[in-house]
Amino acid sequence: MVLACLEKENVDVVFGFPGGAVLTLYDEIYKMGKRHILTRHEQGAAHAADGYARVTGKPGVVIATSGPGATNLVTGIATAYMDSVPLVAITGQVATPFIGTDAFQEADITGITLPITKHNYLVKDIGELPWILKEAFFIANTGRKGPVLIDLPKDIQAQEGEFDYPDRLEISTYKPIYEGHLGQIARACTAVKEAKKPLIYAGGGVASSGAHEEMLAFSQKTRIPVTTTLMGMGSIPYEYELFLGMPGMHGTYAANNAINEADLLLAMGVRFDDRVTGKLDTFAPNAQIIHIDIDPAEIGKNVLADIPIVGDVKRVLAEMLKRVQPGDTEMWCKKVVDWKKNYPLRYRQESNNCLKPQFVIEELCRLTAGEAIVTTDVGQHQMWAAQYYRLKSPRRLISSGGLGTMGFGLPAAIGAQVAFPEKVVLCIAGDGSFQMNSQELATAVKYDLPVKIAIINNQYLGMVRQWQKLFYGGRYSHTNLAGGPDFVRLAEAYGARGFRVASPGEVEETVKIALNTPGPVVIDFQVDPEEDVMPMVAPNTSIVEMIGGEER
């Protein structure tokens, strides 16, 4: 019956890992020939389904068994929850008579995932299953998207029941608001007309609602510069003249100073995360704030909005586009563009042969024409990827923004490659993060998924080391990873190709070879171990107090 529901929901592939409590379900998968990607760890399956969802905009589906199988999904579910990614997780559960008896491989996964799912279900009757599945997909992929978990006891899987799949669904207690309030939209348009220094601050909600075209059109029509968060990267083409880059802790000089000076901040699909705002009471001190978000709870959570608009960013922007009149922003645009020109992101390339991580990413961007799907792990390499991979379109930088999950990159790349077999999928990984899910190399090899993995190998847990250097007196407590595995041989052991690059001169040729090699490839970039991500704003300070953002 589950499989029939998946058909109804047009699920073309599921990610998972079998076990005792999902034997029946897997037997159906076998009999029906459902496309299933077997990972090597349930966490990998969750991240792969998440990566699939992020690149396609369709819900990812992941299956795991009860107990440890289910608990191994937890990090993956929490990752999806924090970044509002539609995910449907189906877990096996011990048979209903055994629930609550500490049976073999029993865990209360609905209890465990209560705080990290949008909603979850424990199925107690086969008759409930069709509407629960229908509701699960509906809830996961509407409103503010997010993961939904269905816990399915073993005996229920084996039962037969009437398959009555609802076509439409009305949940009286769940009614997301899509259309913005017209009165507030009119107020927002007036504010735009009057503003002298307006700024768009856009996040994951823009990509999620597919509002990137409207946003660009809005910025072009009103001549308002744009900064996008990590989650919003790609919603505006990097090369767009009024794009200022990323704001916040590792944001650009232009973006952070624009926030500081702005008299109007148009916050779209963002949640004023601490990594963006720095010290809250110093954030956008001069600005009136328009906050557009589909989740009413985000509005007023961290920052009070002067003009709150609850709704889908795409629809709200489309409505605003019809009415808005540009204000006089030319002086302001000139100022921010000058900032952008005079204070660019940069790094020092010493005359010696030292390989700089930023250079590696710039080269990866150049050699893939900025058109790869880039997944990342978490840490320094993630920030460098956001800073130096010049994206052209949305849903192309796949990264764990909210939870900051190391080990996300490779499985997410697998999910992305499954979704788009023909596209270049590039996993930019850290040497620390990569080792958290390196077993998924086996998955990539088995399904012949040609993901290209660039390990930015600095022999450290680099971001933690950077904080230790700057804020903990240089005491590198347990961040040194030197002596780790030989990544080239590791790749080969799994049946993938491996290359090593230790000097700038080798980058181009090796990347070209890797891109032309079929199947998965690992490149071990042995970069400068002491390089830091700059600029940087110390935690809980104002975002204009930047270290390393000096004038060119």
Instruction: Point out the residues that are catalytic.
Output: 42, 104-105, 154, 463
Sequence-separated (6 or more) residues with CB below 8 Å from residue 494? 441, 442, 445
Side by side, the strands of the sheet bearing 87-93 are 36-38, 14-16, 60-64, 87-93, 147-153, 119-122
Should residue 238 be labelled a site residue for other proteins when binding is judged by CB under 8 A? no
Return the residue of 301, 315, 335, 346 that touches other proteins, per CB under 8 A: 301
Phi-psi region of 535 (alpha: psi -120 to 50; beta: other; left: phi over 0): beta
The only residue of 40, 41, 58, 119 in contact with other proteins, by rule CB under 8 A: 119
Nearest to 438 by CA among 39, 35, 18: 39
CA distance 440 to 235: 29
In angstroms, how far is CA 380 from the centroid of its own chain?
16
How many binding residues for other proteins (CB under 8 A)? 18
Work out whether 118 is an interface residue with other proteins (CB under 8 A): yes
Shortest distance, position 513 Cβ to other proteins, whole Å: 49
Q: Least Å distance between CB 100 and other proteins? A: 12
Report whether 48 contacts 37 (CB < 8 A): yes
- 108-126 in b/e burial notation, b at 16+ Cβ within 10 A? ebbebbeebbbbbbbbeeb
Nearer to other proteins, 77 or 507 (CB): 77
- Of 174, 238, 447, 467, which lies in the binding site for other proteins, with binding defined by CB under 8 A? 174
297 binds other proteins (CB under 8 A): yes
Contact stretch for other proteins (CB under 8 A) within 118-126, 237-245, 324-332, 370-378: 118-126
Q: How many residues does the chain have?
A: 552
CB closer to other proteins out of 296 and 344: 296
Rounded Cα distance, 132 and 113, in Å? 17
Using the rule CB under 8 A, which residue among 114, 217, 470, 493 binds other proteins? 114
For 200, the token pair is 């768009």
Q: Examine residue 500 and tell whether it contacts other proteins (CB under 8 A).
A: no
Token digits for 504? 């700038």
Q: Which stretch binds other proteins (CB under 8 A): 230-238, 294-302, 472-480, 520-528?
A: 294-302
- Closer CB to other proteins, residue 295 or residue 306? 295
Region binding other proteins by CB under 8 A among candidate stretches 86-94, 106-114, 236-244, 343-351: 106-114
Counting contacts by CB under 8 A, is residue 171 touching other proteins? yes
Residue 373 binds to other proteins (criterion: CB under 8 A): no
Binder of other proteins out of 46, 139, 195, 414 (CB under 8 A):
139
Is the Cβ of residue 297 or residue 513 nearer to other proteins in the bound state?
A: 297
Q: Answer yes or no whether residue 115 interacts with other proteins by CB under 8 A.
A: yes
Nearest to 29 by CA among 54, 56, 53, 11: 11
Among 536, 532, 514, residue whose Cα is nearest residue 523 = 514
What does the binding site for other proteins look like in residue numbers (CB under 8 A)?
110-111, 114-115, 118-119, 122, 124, 139, 171-174, 295-297, 300-301
